[in-house]
Amino acid sequence: MACIVAGDTIPDGTLSYADEAHQILNVSVHSLAAAKQVILCGVPGAFTPTCSSLKHVPGFIEKAEELKSKGISEIIVISVNDPYVMRAWGKSYPENKHVKFLSDSSGAYVKTLGLELDVSDRGFGIRSQRFALLLDDLKVKVANVESDGQFKVSSAEDLLKAL
């Protein structure tokens, strides 16, 4: 599939998470995004330096209240990691009250979006490109996709400017 762009309807797909009892639960993207404004943020990997330390995910946690005040209902971070890793990553931010950490374990959903990243040459397999999508009732309003490992257009601040 070609890379998702502004104006497209976000395709449905299944993401997962581990609940408090460590049970794996599935959720559809459409159930999370229908009739709402939602930010869907994709990252190459949990606990990686740019995603964890250089303000990508921390920026969404810090700006969550401001984003919600502008009409955002859900802020969702996805990565091609298993649900237990995503749960642990989310728990590593004790100040987080609004950002959901969901798993695309096999990379099937990012592939559907045309946003898979093959880093097999570095031993990481298929991952997600770094991106931030602003969705409004399943329509992509903003599609900020990074290139070549950059972090220049997919921050919380970038999406705040678009609201």
51 catalytic, yes or no?
Answer: yes
Residue of 15, 41, 51, 143 marked active site: 51
- Rounded distance between C-alpha atoms, residue 8 and residue 1, angstroms: 12
Q: Which helix (H) or strand (E) holds 15?
A: strand 14-18
Count of helices and strands (H, E) across the chain: 7, 9
**Other beta carbons less than 10 A from residue 7's beta carbon:** 9
Please write down the HEC assignment for all residues of 85-123: HHHHHHHCCCCCCCEEEEECCCCHHHHHHCCEEECHHHC
Active site amino acids: 51
